[in-house]
Amino acid sequence: MPSSKDRTRLGILILLGVVLIGVIIYRVRPALVEGVTAGGPRLAQVGSYQVPALGWNKGETRVVPSPGAVRNLFTYGAPPTPTPDLRPTPTPLPTRPPAPPAPTPTPVCFPGADGGCLPAPPQFNLTYLGWLGPDRLPIAVFRDGEEVIAVPQGESVKQRFIIREVGPAAVTVGYTGYAASVTNNVPLAK
């Protein structure tokens, strides 16, 4: 036997169903009444939407194009005129100015011991290894291939180079036949 709780739920459910059917009839009834009372083949209108009538009206004459007025797709004619390009014309890329001419090297003049002009001195190709002796008379140590050369300050090496100053990190080398101001610093080898 159903309980009183189940009966109450069933009653509420039936009441809601009746209310729903009433709302539907109330909303659709005006459209149904208009369609029935007009007495024509007019379709029912719900809301603002109307179903269009399809087909031809027998009172109007149908226009059929004549065969001469239609363009034949299989014949060639003049090409259509091109559509104008409305894009702006691109700005040309900036050009580089011409490169300046290469400078002409001026002849290098090194002062000689007699005051004349001499060409560039020879390249010093010995490796400086360090120094020996007391601070008042240092001796520079060089490597020439497999040979080790020890030269005191103020002496010449290979008759082309003069050791002007010996230091712990570099040696100052002068050249024979050149002024005392023409020197080259040779760093300590690593």
- Fold entry, domain 115-187: SH3 type barrels. (2.30.30)
Query: What distance in Å separates the CA atoms of residue 23 and residue 183, rounded to the nearest whole number?
Result: 114
Q: What average pLDDT values come out for the chain (190 residues) when binned by 10 residues?
A: 82 95 85 61 59 67 60 73 87 87 79 83 91 89 92 92 92 92 89
Q: Supply the pLDDT for residue 157.
A: 92
Backbone angles phi, psi at 183, to 5 degrees: -135, 170
- Per-domain residue ranges of the chain: 115-187
pTM for the model stands at: 0.44
Report the first-to-last Cα separation within the chain, whole angstroms: 110
Q: Are 43 and 50 in contact (CB under 8 A)?
A: yes
157: its two tokens: 């090496």
List the one residue out of 146, 151, 170 whose CA is nearest residue 161: 151
Per residue in 104-125, pLDDT (tens digit) is: 777 678 888 887 888 888 889 9
Query: What distance in Å separates the CA atoms of residue 174 and residue 162, rounded to the nearest whole number?
Result: 5
Apex 136 CA angle, 130 and 138, nearest 5: 20
Query: What distance in Å separates the CA atoms of residue 57 and residue 138, rounded to the nearest whole number?
Result: 125
